Structure 1
Amino acid sequence: MASNHLYLVDGSGYIFRAYHQLPPLTNRHGLNVGAVYGYTAMLWKLADALHKADGPSHLAVVLDKGSHTFRNDMYDQYKAHRPPPPEDLVPQFPLIRDATRAFSLPCIEEEGFEADDIIATYTCRAVEAGWNVTIVSSDKDLAQLIIPGQVDMLDTMKNERRSVQYVVDKFGVGPERLGDVLALMGDSVDNVPGVPGIGPKTASKLITEHGDLEGVLAAIPSMKPSKMRENLENNVEMARLSRKLVALHCDMPLPQDLDSLKLDGIPPEPLREFLEDQGFKTLLSRLTGERPMPRPVDLHATPVTDATAPAAEVEARTGMPALPELPPIDCTAYATITDEAALDAIIAEAYAGGLLAIDTETDALDSVASGLVGISLATAPGRAAYIPVGHVSSDDMFGEKPPQLPLSVVVDRLLPVLSDPAVLKIGHNIKYDINVLARHGLIVAPYDDTMVISFDLDSGKMLGGHGMDVAASTHLAHTCTSFKDVTGTGKKQISFAHVTLDRATAYAAEDADVTFRLWTRLKPRLAHEAATRVYERVDRPLIPVVAGMERAGIKVDRHKLAQLSSQFTQEMARLEEEIYAEAGHPFTIGSPQQLGVVLFDEKGLKGGKKGKSGAYSTDVTVLEKLAAEGNAICRLVLDWRQVAKLKSTYTEALQAQINPVTGRVHTSYSLTGAQTGRLSSTDPNLQNIPIRTETGRQIRDAFVAEPGHVILAADYSQIELRLAAHMADVPALKEAFAAGEDVHARTAMELFGEVNRDTRGRAKTINFAILYGISRWGLAGRLEISADEAQAMISRYFERFPGISAYINETTEHARSKGFTETLFGRKTWFPQITNSIQHIRQGAERAAINAPIQGTSADIIKRAMIRMGPALAEAGLPNVKMLLQVHDELVFELPEGDIETAKPVIERVMAHAAEPIVHLSVPLGIEIGTGPSWGAAH
Structure 2
Amino acid sequence: MTFGKGSHLHLIDGSAFIFRAYHALPPLTRKSDGLPVGAVSGFCNMLYKYIEDASGHDAPTHAAVIFDHSGKTFRNDLYPAYKANRPPAPEDLVPQFPLTREATRAFNVACIEIQGFEADDVIGTLAHQARDAGGRVTIISSDKDLMQLVGDGVEMLDPMKNKRIDREGVEEKFGVGPERVVDVQALAGDSVDNVPGAPGIGLKTAALLINEFGDLDSLLARAEEIKQPKRRETLIDKAEQIRISRELVKLVCDMELDFTLDSLEVQEPDADRLLDFLSKMEFRTIVKRVSDKFGVAPPAIPEAPSTASAPDAPATPESKPFDTAAYEKVSTMGALERWIDAIYARGYVAVDTETTGLDEMVADLVGVSLCVEPGVACYIPVGHTVGEDDLFGGSNLVDGQLAKNMVLDALKPVLEDPSILKIGQNMKYDAKIFARNGIKVAPCDDTMLMSYALHAGINGHGMDTLSERYLNHTPIPTKELLGSGKSAITFDKVEMTKAVAYAAEDADVTLRLWQMFKPQLHAERVTTVYETLERPLSPVLARMEMAGVLVDRDVLSRMSNAFAQKMAGLEDEIHQLAGENFNVGSPKQLGEILFDKMSLPGGKKGKTGAYATGADILEDLAAEGHELPARVLDWRQLSKLKSTYTDALQTFINAETGRVHTSYLQTGAVTGRLSSSDPNLQNIPVRSEEGRRIREAFIAPKGRKLISLDYSQIELRILAHVANIDSLKQAFRDGLDIHAMTASEMFGVPIEGMDPMVRRQAKAINFGVIYGISGFGLARNLRIPRAEAQGFIDRYFERFPGIKQYMDDTVEFAKDHKYVQTLFGRKIHTPEIGAKGPQAGFAKRQAINAPIQGSAADIIRRAMIRMPEAIKDLPATMLLQVHDELIFEVDEDACDAVIEVVKDVMESAAAPAVHLDVPIEVDAGIGDTWAEAH
Q: 2: CA distance between counterparts of 1:341 and 1:351?
A: 16
The answer to which of 492-501 and 395-404 deviates more is 395-404
Q: Does 1:636 align with 2:631?
A: yes
Q: 1: CA distance between counterparts of 2:476 and 2:262?
A: 36
Which secondary structure state, in structure 2, belongs to the residue aligned with residue 704 of structure 1? coil
Per the TM alignment, residue 592 of structure 1 is displaced from its structure 2 partner at its CA by: 2.7
Q: 2: CA distance between counterparts of 1:458 and 1:489?
A: 31
Q: Structure 2 vs 1, CA of residues 152 and 509 (structure 1 numbering), >3 Å: closer, same or farther?
A: farther
Corresponding residue of 1:827? 826
2:931 to 909, 929, 936: 936
Within 5 Å, which residues of 2 pair with 1:13-52? 35=37, 39=41
Which secondary structure state, in structure 2, belongs to the residue aligned with residue 936 of structure 1? helix
Per the TM alignment, residue 350 of structure 1 is displaced from its structure 2 partner at its CA by: 2.0
Within 5 Å, which residues of 2 pair with 1:294-443? 294=308, 323=316, 325-394=318-387, 399-403=395-399, 404-443=401-440
Within 5 Å, which residues of 2 pair with 1:471-870? 471-611=466-606, 615-754=610-749, 755=751, 756=754, 757-839=756-838, 841-870=839-868
Q: Structure 2 vs 1, CA of residues 245 and 468 (structure 1 numbering), >3 Å: closer, same or farther?
A: farther
Q: Structure 2 vs 1, CA of residues 889 and 736 (structure 1 numbering), >3 Å: closer, same or farther?
A: same
Q: Structure 2 vs 1, CA of residues 405 and 113 (structure 1 numbering), >3 Å: closer, same or farther?
A: closer
Per the TM alignment, residue 9 of structure 1 is displaced from its structure 2 partner at its CA by: 12
Q: 2: CA distance between counterparts of 1:12 and 1:684?
A: 33
The answer to which of 897-906 and 713-722 deviates more is 897-906
Which secondary structure state, in structure 2, belongs to the residue aligned with residue 325 of structure 1? helix
Which secondary structure state, in structure 1, belongs to the residue aligned with residue 562 of structure 2? helix
Within 5 Å, which residues of 2 pair with 1:109-508? 153-155=158-160, 239=254, 278=301, 294=308, 323=316, 325-394=318-387, 399-403=395-399, 404-462=401-459, 465-508=460-503
Q: 2: CA distance between counterparts of 1:351 and 1:236?
A: 62
Per the TM alignment, residue 906 of structure 1 is displaced from its structure 2 partner at its CA by: 0.9
AA partner of residue 467 (structure 2): A
Q: 1: CA distance between counterparts of 2:175 and 2:262?
A: 18
Q: Output one character per residue of 1:657-704: Cα deviation in whole Å (capped at 9) or x when no partner.
A: 211111111111111112211111112211122224322332212211
Q: Structure 2 vs 1, CA of residues 248 and 358 (structure 1 numbering), >3 Å: closer, same or farther?
A: farther
Corresponding residue of 2:886? 891
Q: 1: CA distance between counterparts of 2:63 and 2:530?
A: 54
Q: 2: CA distance between counterparts of 1:646 and 1:110?
A: 50
CA contact (8 A) 2:424 2:447 kept: yes
Q: 2: CA distance between counterparts of 1:778 and 1:31?
A: 33
Which secondary structure state, in structure 1, belongs to the residue aligned with residue 342 of structure 2? helix
Which secondary structure state, in structure 2, belongs to the residue aligned with residue 937 of structure 1? helix
Q: Structure 2 vs 1, CA of residues 521 and 760 (structure 1 numbering), >3 Å: closer, same or farther?
A: same
Q: Structure 2 vs 1, CA of residues 791 and 42 (structure 1 numbering), >3 Å: closer, same or farther?
A: closer
Within 5 Å, which residues of 2 pair with 1:59-138? 60=52
AA partner of residue 402 (structure 1): V
Q: Output one character per residue of 1:30-75: Cα deviation in whole Å (capped at 9) or x when no partner.
A: 699964997389959x99xxxxxxxxxx994679xxxx99689xxx
Q: 1: CA distance between counterparts of 2:674 and 2:67?
A: 42
Which secondary structure state, in structure 1, belongs to the residue aligned with residue 930 of structure 2? coil
Q: Structure 2 vs 1, CA of residues 166 and 870 (structure 1 numbering), >3 Å: closer, same or farther?
A: farther
Per the TM alignment, residue 911 of structure 1 is displaced from its structure 2 partner at its CA by: 0.2
Q: Structure 2 vs 1, CA of residues 807 and 175 (structure 1 numbering), >3 Å: closer, same or farther?
A: same
Which secondary structure state, in structure 2, belongs to the residue aligned with residue 696 of structure 1? helix
Q: Structure 2 vs 1, CA of residues 249 and 774 (structure 1 numbering), >3 Å: closer, same or farther?
A: closer
Which secondary structure state, in structure 1, belongs to the residue aligned with residue 739 of structure 2? helix
RMSD: 5.2
Q: Does 1:926 align with 2:924?
A: no
TM-score, length basis structure 1: 0.74
Give unpaired runs (5+ residues) of structure 1: 1-7, 48-57, 98-108, 115-133, 182-199, 212-225, 256-265, 283-291, 298-318
Give unpaired runs (5+ residues) of structure 2: 1-10, 72-94, 114-137, 185-202, 215-239, 271-284
Which secondary structure state, in structure 2, belongs to the residue aligned with residue 815 of structure 1? helix
Q: 2: CA distance between counterparts of 1:609 and 1:765?
A: 30
Which secondary structure state, in structure 1, belongs to the residue aligned with residue 319 of structure 2? coil
Q: 2: CA distance between counterparts of 1:406 and 1:247?
A: 72
Q: 2: CA distance between counterparts of 1:849 and 1:395?
A: 54
Per the TM alignment, residue 490 of structure 1 is displaced from its structure 2 partner at its CA by: 2.0
Per the TM alignment, residue 373 of structure 1 is displaced from its structure 2 partner at its CA by: 1.7
Q: 2: CA distance between counterparts of 1:495 and 1:911?
A: 43
AA partner of residue 386 (structure 1): Y
Q: 2: CA distance between counterparts of 1:918 and 1:10?
A: 51
Q: Structure 2 vs 1, CA of residues 382 and 838 (structure 1 numbering), >3 Å: closer, same or farther?
A: same
Q: How many residues align?
A: 796
Q: Structure 2 vs 1, CA of residues 332 and 605 (structure 1 numbering), >3 Å: closer, same or farther?
A: farther
Corresponding residue of 2:85? none
Q: 1: CA distance between counterparts of 2:835 and 2:781?
A: 27
Which secondary structure state, in structure 2, belongs to the residue aligned with residue 525 of structure 1? helix
Q: 1: CA distance between counterparts of 2:578 and 2:694?
A: 31
The answer to which of 729-738 and 780-789 deviates more is 780-789
Q: Output one character per residue of 1:888-923: Cα deviation in whole Å (capped at 9) or x when no partner.
A: 210000111222222222111100010111111000
Q: Structure 2 vs 1, CA of residues 395 and 162 (structure 1 numbering), >3 Å: closer, same or farther?
A: farther
Q: Output one character per residue of 1:841-866: Cα deviation in whole Å (capped at 9) or x when no partner.
A: 22122222221111111000001000
Q: 1: CA distance between counterparts of 2:803 and 2:98?
A: 32
Which secondary structure state, in structure 2, belongs to the residue aligned with residue 712 of structure 1? strand
Q: Structure 2 vs 1, CA of residues 656 and 753 (structure 1 numbering), >3 Å: closer, same or farther?
A: same
